[in-house]
Structure 1
Amino acid sequence: MNSHLLTKYLTAFKKWFRSNKTQAMSEQQERELLASNIQEYSKELLQKMSENEFFDYIAPLWAMAMWGNKHYQIDNIIEANGMPLLREQFANLIYGSGSIEKRWDEFRSKIKGVGPAIMSELLCKTYPNKYLIWNRKTYNGFTTLEISNLPRYEARLTGKAYERLSMQGREIVHMAQKEGFIEVNDMLTLNTFIWQELQVLPEKYFTSDKAENLLSKSGREDLFVHNDIRDKLAEIGRCLGFRAEVEKKVADGAVVDTIWEVTIGNMGRVIYVFEVQTSGSIDSLILNLMKAETNKAVQGIVAVTDQKQIEKIKKEISALSINGKVKFWDYTEVLKVHESLQFVNESINNLGLVPLGL
């Protein structure tokens, strides 16, 4: 981390805070109120929460801002996971006795449709002195401060990485306090500082050699989380107006990772199938796609993976009936599309043109 840059931006933040004290204090009080509301959800309440209580728990989160109709998205989360599992895993993530690394990774492996932005915001608002909110803005802010080993995409944010980043956040707070910048005193005020002062780099920076050098070696490898990509494909579909589901049976013996479905007039159902390949047998992926293709409603089949495996799959299906029918989507493009749609939806929703569905 570049301590000189940190001091520079903290100084600017203090100046802004003092020049806009009424606004700054109002925003801080709002953040504290939102955190207080989250803290009212005890372990016991999470373990027995109803669907309505679950909605009230996550709908007000900043991470939900991309969804105009929040009921629609939260209903999909409930349908994909079931309330018993949601109760168990949210209670364990927030109040479990294991390490945050293990609780984080277990949640990520078991819960569909809930990513690091929601998880980290809940942890931060429950424990403002301990855990960091991690999202695109925080990534930009940490990049501005030249902090290294940053996971560019949520798919690479393991429990171990999240704890390391939270430690980095606590270090920034400690340095701010030590140097007399009392405006940054916990992770919530750190989040305000990040949003206010550290969104300064042009987009081209994030594809430059300098930005690439800030990534860890593992961050540059073609490693990604299967369930994260599966869930983002579903969210992209919903943003585009499709009914999207994960782990859906589309034919005998074919349960696919994600489908987009729409009913078009007299044509009936039209289904697009997505299979995510991270590791393991390519043969099983090909077999699943071949079975899915037998469903007459399936109009498109897409294999989602990295460039190396795309070439392998193309070679394997060259003599098969699905050759020429399978489309390919690099997982990094999926992540970029999801991020872009998130930005677009948040921007439009902030205009207040459409009721937010609360």
Structure 2
Amino acid sequence: MDKLKLQSLLDEYIKNKKINASYYNENWSERKERKNFYQSYTKEKLLQMTEDEFFEYISKLWSMLIWGNKKYVVDKLIEDNGFKTLKKELAELLFGSAKIEVRWDSFLKSIKGLGPATISELLTYINPDEYIIFNKTTILCFSYLGIPDMPKYNYQYTGKKYAEVCKIAKDIARILKESGAEDYDLLAVDYFMWDEILPLAEQKEVKNDSISVKPSPVSDNDYKSLHDEIKEKLVAIGELLGFESRSEVKIATGAIVDVVWEAKIGNMGKAIYVFEVQSKGSIDSLILNLKKAQSNAAVQAVVAVADETQLSKIINESSEVIDEKSLRTWDSEDVLAVYDSLVRAHESINKLALVPESF
């Protein structure tokens, strides 16, 4: 970590807090309100929550800002995991006695639909002296400070990595305290990064400068995790764009495809877009699935998603098998970038509260 850069940024942060006291007090008050709300929940109270109470509990999170219809998201969480199981695993994550590495990995393995950004935000509110929010903002800011080995893909957000990130955040909190800041828990560290470092880090990212996250190469054991992550991002992109978006869908006889986006056209029918993800190995099954998908009259286009090398092979080997007019290709790195951009756009728009929540 570049401590000279960190100290310079901390000094600027403390100076700006004094100059713009009302702005900083307003933003910090919002964080304290959130912390007080979540700390009002004990393990027993969490386990006894009704579905309506759970909706309020989850919908208040910053990580939920990307969703206009939060009720839909919460209902899906309950449907996919079972309400009793969901509360039990969440209570164990937040209040369990095992090391955070164990609780973190166990939760992500057991529960579908709540990822690192959401669960770390909850952990931070419950215990801001121990846990930091772990999301794209954290990664960009840590990378800007010269902290190496920040994750790029979801499978790299392990419990071990989260523990490492929390330890680094505590070092920043200590320096924040030594610099004379009144608030210096890990929620305050998040505020400092969000307000002071993030704008600079995003400028660097846009310029493809030296802070680009450089994760370790993908190993053979991680390809399945990466494949699953790309599928999840495709489903989320479809949902954010307003499609009915699903994974593992039977689209034609003998063809179960990775992701489908579906749009209903009044009472006339539907338009379907099919995605197959390729991360490694033979592309024969991908080409066969896309060809079978084309036999469904509602399918408007089939999309192969892979890295640059794999896409080149897919284009060459499918040229006489798949109708070229309906075949599209999408670089998997671009999928991740599009997802991040859509998330930021929806967060910004939904902060305006143009459409009220309804039940």
**Same fold judged by TM-score > 0.5?**
yes
Q: Which residue of 1 aligns with 2:307?
A: 306
1:302–1:326 Cα contact (<8 Å) kept: yes
More divergent stretch after superposition (228-237 vs 186-195)? 228-237
Q: Shift in Å at residue 331 of structure 1? A: 1.6
Amino acid at match of 1:234: V
1:156–1:219 Cα contact (<8 Å) kept: no
Q: Which residue of 1 aligns with 2:195?
A: 196
Matched, 1:249 2:234: no
Q: Secondary structure at the match of 1:211?
A: coil
Q: Shift in Å at residue 239 of structure 1? A: 1.9
Q: Which residue of 1 aligns with 2:93?
A: 93
Matches within 5 A, 1:83-122: 83-122=83-122
Q: Which residue of 1 aligns with 2:216?
A: 217
CA distance in 2, matches of 1:107, 1:307: 34
Q: Give the direction of change, closer, same or farther, for the CA distance of 1:313–1:197 in structure 2 (3 Å limit).
A: same
CA distance in 2, matches of 1:142, 1:17: 22
Q: Give the direction of change, closer, same or farther, for the CA distance of 1:338–1:356 in structure 2 (3 Å limit).
A: farther
Amino acid at match of 1:133: I
Q: Shift in Å at residue 126 of structure 1? A: 1.7
TM-score (norm 2): 0.85
Q: Percent identity?
A: 42
Q: Which residue of 2 aligns with 1:355?
A: 356
Q: Which residue of 1 aligns with 2:12?
A: 12
1:230–1:258 Cα contact (<8 Å) kept: yes
1:10–1:176 Cα contact (<8 Å) kept: yes
Q: Secondary structure at the match of 2:211?
A: helix
Q: Shift in Å at residue 209 of structure 1? A: 4.8
Q: Between Structure 1 and Structure 2, how many residues are aligned?
A: 356
1:68–1:357 Cα contact (<8 Å) kept: no
CA distance in 1, matches of 2:278, 2:180: 48
Amino acid at match of 1:138: T
CA distance in 2, matches of 1:44, 1:226: 38
CA distance in 1, matches of 2:110, 2:285: 22
Q: Give the direction of change, closer, same or farther, for the CA distance of 1:220–1:226 in structure 2 (3 Å limit).
A: closer
CA distance in 1, matches of 2:145, 2:192: 12
Provide, for residues 14-52 of structure 1, a one-character-per-residue CA deviation record: whole Å limited to 9, x for no partner: 222233444434433331221232234444444454432
1:14–1:183 Cα contact (<8 Å) kept: no
Q: Shift in Å at residue 190 of structure 1? A: 0.6
CA distance in 2, matches of 1:100, 1:322: 51
Q: Which residue of 1 aligns with 2:57?
A: 57
Q: Secondary structure at the match of 1:119?
A: helix
Provide, for residues 81-105 of structure 1, a one-character-per-residue CA deviation record: whole Å limited to 9, x for no partner: 4434433442343334544334434
CA distance in 2, matches of 1:97, 1:275: 41
Q: Shift in Å at residue 204 of structure 1? A: 5.4
Q: Give the direction of change, closer, same or farther, for the CA distance of 1:40–1:208 in structure 2 (3 Å limit).
A: same
Provide, for residues 100-127 of structure 1, a one-character-per-residue CA deviation record: whole Å limited to 9, x for no partner: 3344344434444333221211121122
Q: Which residue of 1 aligns with 2:67?
A: 67
CA distance in 1, matches of 2:291, 2:45: 46
Q: Shift in Å at residue 356 of structure 1? A: 4.8
Q: Give the direction of change, closer, same or farther, for the CA distance of 1:98–1:7 in structure 2 (3 Å limit).
A: same
Q: Secondary structure at the match of 1:217?
A: coil
Higher relative contact order (CA 8 A, sep 6+): 1
Amino acid at match of 2:251: V
TM-score (norm 1): 0.85
Q: Structure 1: where are the runs of 5+ without partners?
A: none
Q: Shift in Å at residue 57 of structure 1? A: 1.7
More divergent stretch after superposition (288-297 vs 59-68)? 288-297
Amino acid at match of 2:304: A
> What is the root-mean-square deviation in Å for CA atoms of aligned residues?
3.1
Q: Which residue of 2 aligns with 1:205?
A: 204
CA distance in 2, matches of 1:355, 1:32: 24
2:233–2:339 Cα contact (<8 Å) kept: yes
